[in-house]
Copies of this chain bind each other. A is one copy, B any other.
Amino acid sequence: MPVTGAAPAHRAVFMVTDFGPCGPYIGQMHAALARTVPGLPVVDLVNDMPRFSPRPAAYLLSALAAAEPEPAVFLAVVDPGVGTARRRPVVVRTTCHAFVGPDNGLFNVLARHHPGAERAIIDWCPPYLSNSFHGRDLFAPVAARIAASLPVETTPLPWRDEELADWPADWPAVVYADGYGNLMTGLRAVGVAPSARIRAGGREIARARTFGEVPAGDAFWYGNSSGLVEIAVNGGSAAILLGLGAGDEVTVLGG
């Protein structure tokens, strides 16, 4: 008598949006995911990406994805173009992960970091598509279907060099200010010499390994837990001290 195989486990879906902590939109996307694939594991990875700002979000998204070792589907919606010249809905696949969202630059940094990444336009059509909430009506069901290995009709859309020309693999700028006022940058720490200093907000900032290595109130940089260069202040807020936020550029001074 044949052994019945266990049902294939689904990948997790990781929510990455700029919707903020309030409102019904995140909940409605969760409902759409559960409706498409009951029991699908879903994690709210980060829902306060820099609002309407695909560029910093693209750098943070690539870092967060690199920090997740198990194959997952990232449902990424940071889209300033609601109802205007909306970008095409795409799915991007690296060797490990899949990403679903609007083709507005949000996945360009992934393309830089994963030269083999494949992009495809989503041709699959949901039964109902509202005018203003593609996150719920299109991207969520597609992400759920991919996580559950259900078919999704797509058309390959190779990256063109000129699309990526303006998206360096590392971007010397703040991409996220966390609740502590720590400033994540678009620089991967592995590529910055420990002796390097970073000019930001009118100061030159040296690296420290931990908060305890610098005097209270002083700024320093370090490689954060997602592999990015992050600027912090011991006992304070780098965002306030330096007056910087997502999108503001910094300068790396060779060590």
Which residues of A line the B interface, CB within 8 A? 9, 12, 14-15, 19-28, 30-31, 34-35, 38-39, 41, 43-48, 60, 64, 67-70, 72, 82-85, 130-133, 136-137, 178-179, 209-213, 222-226
Contacts and interface: CB of A to CB of B under 8 A. Distances in A.
8 contacts: A12-B31, A12-B34, A30-B43, A31-B43, A35-B69, A39-B41, A130-B224, A132-B210
A24 B64 contact: yes
B14 A224 contact: no
Nearest to A49: B24
Contacts of A67: 28
Nearest to A134: B225
B48 A31 contact: no
Closest 3 pairs between A and B when the two form their complex, measured CB to CB? A83-B210, A84-B212, A133-B225
Nearest to A44: B27
A184 to B, nearest CB: 9
B28 A45 contact: yes
Given A43-B31, A70-B35, A210-B82, A226 B24 contact: yes
A39 B43 CA distance: 12
Query: How many copies of this protein are present in the complex?
Result: 3
Given A82-B211, A225-B132, A22 B48 contact: yes
A83 B60 CA distance: 23
A222 B83 CA distance: 11
Given A83-B210, A225-B136, A41 B45 contact: no
Given A210-B84, A226-B24, A38 B41 contact: yes
A153 to B, nearest CB: 22
A48 B23 CA distance: 6
Contacts of A210: 82-84, 131-132
Nearest to A212: B84
Contact of A24 (B23, B34, B45, B223): B45
A92 B132 CA distance: 30
A72 B210 CA distance: 33
B38 A224 contact: no
Contact of A43 (B27, B64, B179): B27
